[in-house]
Amino acid sequence: MRIVVELHAESPGDRHLAQLLGGVQYDLAALCHRAGDLTAAVSALNAGEQIYAALVDQLPAAAGRLADVRIRRGVVHAAQGHGVSALADVRAALGGPQAADPAAAGPDGLRVLALGGDVLAAFGDPDLALVTVDNAVRAGLRSLAAPGTVRVGAAAAPHPGYLARACRVAAVLRRARGPAETARARRLAAAADRLGAVPAATVVEQRLAGPNPPDLTLGLAAALRAAERHGGDPRTSACLLAALDSPHSGPAQVPAARLSAMLTRLAGEVLTGDLAVGMRLLLEAHCLRTAPATPAGPARAHAVEPADLTWARLLHTASRRLAAAGDTGLAVDLAGWAARAAQDLTGADSTDLAAALFAAECARTHAELAPSPAVGPARRRRGVPLKALPC
């Protein structure tokens, strides 16, 4: 490992060495993950992300590897219950080409879609999660056999575990939608079993067994419709629903900063009345705020907007609410993001006493919830410089 690092330092423009080092970091992350050292796994994946992001302009294939690194890091965050950090990685990864064209996804795209859909089901919008795992199933079925042939079983797919995971998550999501989807959910679960490579438990199944299980029927649209009943401004909800529903003025056409500000305001109004609805709105705002400026760009800790103090306060309030509900992992993650946002508001030349006091409060909350300083959304840092993480 040290030799590769030294060679890369001597020849930073050597694409072959950069790819080699990125692969070594990726494999090291897998070993750390299996050994239970999740902090070291995240650190190695951070380093891999930096390497592949720098390669994207020179080597188009690096975009797929960048998405893979991000999706792996999202899975590691999810294993700790850190859904806020996990969603930032997953949404960044799903902005790549495999999401736009699942027909051309291939085995690597199948992996990104299957793992991403699982994390989305556990922490994100279940509607988006279902679209993602359905695309993963389609990509996996294409990989099972050449046209005109029929093969079944684990040997038929190059990555049966990812197809099995996608089927199983799709079954969980469809079962939650009621009797009309029961038969389809049963077929998907049976297909996952027949593949013979089903993981011990998917991320969403682990989350459903926890103290704060997700509502798999509460997508963003449903949360916007429910917001008014829980203290939300009906005009803001209607505006966001119109943006979501219209193909000509949807989220892709409305500036992300404006959507994020509206979602933040609505989440703040709703959070005390309904934790689930408020968190769905908050997490959607978070995904917009942390989205890379470009597919190859780094995920952001938070958007630089005038409402940052409002955003930090919302994260802190949500952290406290989730801690009271027994969801320690997500509460720790939110507290870390709140502390980071508040700290960035209080630079060395800052004279804002209120912001400084609030930053100190956020730091205390994070320390109370997470005694280890390694827990939470730490800044991207160089990893200790290993193959695929387990399904």
| pLDDT average per 10 residues of sequence, the chain (391 residues) | 53 68 86 91 92 84 88 95 96 69 62 95 97 93 61 54 94 97 96 80 94 96 95 94 68 75 95 96 94 64 57 95 95 93 73 80 88 44 35 42
The CATH classification of domain 2-208, taken from the options 1.25.40.10, 1.10.3720.10, 3.20.20.450, 3.10.180.10: 1.25.40.10
Q: Measure the CA–CA gap between 55 and 66, rounded to whole angstroms.
A: 9
- The identity of residue 76, as a single letter, is V
- The CA distance from 138 to 114, in Å, is 11
Dihedral class, residue 350 (left if φ above 0, else alpha if ψ from -120 to 50, else beta)? beta
Question: pLDDT value at position 388?
Answer: 37
Which residue matches tokens 């279902």? 130
Q: Which residues of 242-266 are buried (b: 16+ CB within 10 A; e: fewer)?
A: ebbeeeeeeeeebebeebbbbbbbb
| Predicted pLDDT of residue 377 | 43
Q: Which residue has the tokens 């993480």?
A: 389
Tokens found for residue 357: 């006091």
Q: What is the pLDDT of residue 330?
A: 96
pLDDT, position 351: 65
Alpha carbons 78 and 84: distance in angstroms, whole number: 9
**Which pLDDT score, from 0 to 100, does residue 78 have?**
96
How many Cβ atoms sit within 10 Å of the Cβ of residue 1? 13
Q: What distance in Å separates the CA atoms of residue 319 and residue 366, rounded to the nearest whole number?
A: 9
Instruction: Name the CA radius of gyration of the chain, rounded.
Output: 21
DSSP-assigned states of every residue in 169-184: HHHHHHHTT-GGGHHH
Q: What is the pLDDT of residue 23?
A: 85
Which residues make up the CATH 1.25.40.10 domain(s) of the chain?
Answer: 2-208
Whether the model pTM is above 0.95: no
